[in-house]
């Protein structure tokens, strides 16, 4: 291990980070993009101190560098770079692990063991460490070594096959990275928080095997459980929430805008029929034989007014009708404004005379304490290496030696 001075825990972010229930928890993040980065984004917005541990520039393959605005512009995160393939880099990383609570990684199964930073190595320096390994298919099984992305996990987890197909009959391409964000990122963050509670103040750590495909399976579990229990061939149009009935569908308005209708409860459906002038169908909500006729009348009714006119008439009248908003529309939506969903952000790279200012989705989930607060992202290429390794107990001389060797940056 490297030479050390007195070891002190890394202090919470203070003014440069949010408060929250995870304040005082330190997370080392070895991922640059994808579900693991989504996980640590959530943990940081809940108050954890998250340290992004990237690759040293010029040593090995260059990592993916997301755009400056991605993953909330690395809001509140700290950064360092370590060559984990170098024995000195490995030891420096393990020095960080001694004062950490969680390590999040997204390498293929077996890679961290080959690097010498697998769970056994982490536990040898910190018996309480929680290792969260986030992969496409998990640490074992016949698909464990497969490469993949969001669409692949949605495919094997049943999501694509239960979603309305394209005009050519093929499964659709999702408009959001549901597998990465929910099947992987939220799954991993939830597992980490549960492990922290289970560990308590002085309990042992654990290795979390987060499979994104497993997370998608859970997201699709209503349909899968129905098939397992009844043998039903679940898929698009199978039941009320997959397009079988006109009460749960989308409709085009006169101006080309779209409305989403989710009138599942009979009372909401009756309100909708009345306000659309389609009272003749009020008692036929779940009658399969007439659904084509119901849809035809609903389409004709919605085509008589512009989208926002229908929203004004229907949305507040217990009909479960909402507009289909584009990203350009929702960023100025009154509801999100009232909920302080977007925050002002600024960043400044070296040499820039003025900061770049923009808005971003803020800490919007329940229990996040920095909702609506402006954030200064600082220099997106800065390094917190000296501060981090000093807090980990390395002497200034040793940090300088590691820098000179190109092991840290």
Which structure tokens are listed for 213? 């495909």
Contact indicator for 69, 36 with CB cutoff of 8 Å: no
Contact indicator for 47, 375 with CB cutoff of 8 Å: no
Q: Is 180 a catalytic residue?
A: yes
Tell me which residue has tokens 């100025």.
332
Tell me whether strands 258-262 and 248-252 are parallel, antiparallel or unpaired.
antiparallel
Which structure tokens are listed for 94? 């393990």
Helix (H) or strand (E) holding 29: strand 26-29
Q: Is 384 a catalytic residue?
A: no
Could you tell me how far CA 307 lies from the centroid of its own chain? 31
Contact indicator for 348, 357 with CB cutoff of 8 Å: no
Check 83, 86, 180, 214 and give the catalytic one: 180
Give the helix ranges, DSSP H, for 139-279. 150-156, 178, 187-199, 212-219, 221-230, 266-276
Check 149, 225, 306, 332 and give the catalytic one: 149
Tell me which residue has tokens 């199964």.
109
Tell me which residue has tokens 């996980």.
39
Handedness of CA 160, 161, 165, 166 (dihedral sign): positive
> Which three-class secondary structure state does DSSP give residue 207?
strand
CA dihedral 391, 394, 397, 400 (to 10 degrees): -80
CA distances from 322 to 12, 258, 275, 296, 332 (A): 42, 9, 15, 20, 16
Q: Residues with catalytic annotation?
A: 149, 180
């Amino acid at each position: 291990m490297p030479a050390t001075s007195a070891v002190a825990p890394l202090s919470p972010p203070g003014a440069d980070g949010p408060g929250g229930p995870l304040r005082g928890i330190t997370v080392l993040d070895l991922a640059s993009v994808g579900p693991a980065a989504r996980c640590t984004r959530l943990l940081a917005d809940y108050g954890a101190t998250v340290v992004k541990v990237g690759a040293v520039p010029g040593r090995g393959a260059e990592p993916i560098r997301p755009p400056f605005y991605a993953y909330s512009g690395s809001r509140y995160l700290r950064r360092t770079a370590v060559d984990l393939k170098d024995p000195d880099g490995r030891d420096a990383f393990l020095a960080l692990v001694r004062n950490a609570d969680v390590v999040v990684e997204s390498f293929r199964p077996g890679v961290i063991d080959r690097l010498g930073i697998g769970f056994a190595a982490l536990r040898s320096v910190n018996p309480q460490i929680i290792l969260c390994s986030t992969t496409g298919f998990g640490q074992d099984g016949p698909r464990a070594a497969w490469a993949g992305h969001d669409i692949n996990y949605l495919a094997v987890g049943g999501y694509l096959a239960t979603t309305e197909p394209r005009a050519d009959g093929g499964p659709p391409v999702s408009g959001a990275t549901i597998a990465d964000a929910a099947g992987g990122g939220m799954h991993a963050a939830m597992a980490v928080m549960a492990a922290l509670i289970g560990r308590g103040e002085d309990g042992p750590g654990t290795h979390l095997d987060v499979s994104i495909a497993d997370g998608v399976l859970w997201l699709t579990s209503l349909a899968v459980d129905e098939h397992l229990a009844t043998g039903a061939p679940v898929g698009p149009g199978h039941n009320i929430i997959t397009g079988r009935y006109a009460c749960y569908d989308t409709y085009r308005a006169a101006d080309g805008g779209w409305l989403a209708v989710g009138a599942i409860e009979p009372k909401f459906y009756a309100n909708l029929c009345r306000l659309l002038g389609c009272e003749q169908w009020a008692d036929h909500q779940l009658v399969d034989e007439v659904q084509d006729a119901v849809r035809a009348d609903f389409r004709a009714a919605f085509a008589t007014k512009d989208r926002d006119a229908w929203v004004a008439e229907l949305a507040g009248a217990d009909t479960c009708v909402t507009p289909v908003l584009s990203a350009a529309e929702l960023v100025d939506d009154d509801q999100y404004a009232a909920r302080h969903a977007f925050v002002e952000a600024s960043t400044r790279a070296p040499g820039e005379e003025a900061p770049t200012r923009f808005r971003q989705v803020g800490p919007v989930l329940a229990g996040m304490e920095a909702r609506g607060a402006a954030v200064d992202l600082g220099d997106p290429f800065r390094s917190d290496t000296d501060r981090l390794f000093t807090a980990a107990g390395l002497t200034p001389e040793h940090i300088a030696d590691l820098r000179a060797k190109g092991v840290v940056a």
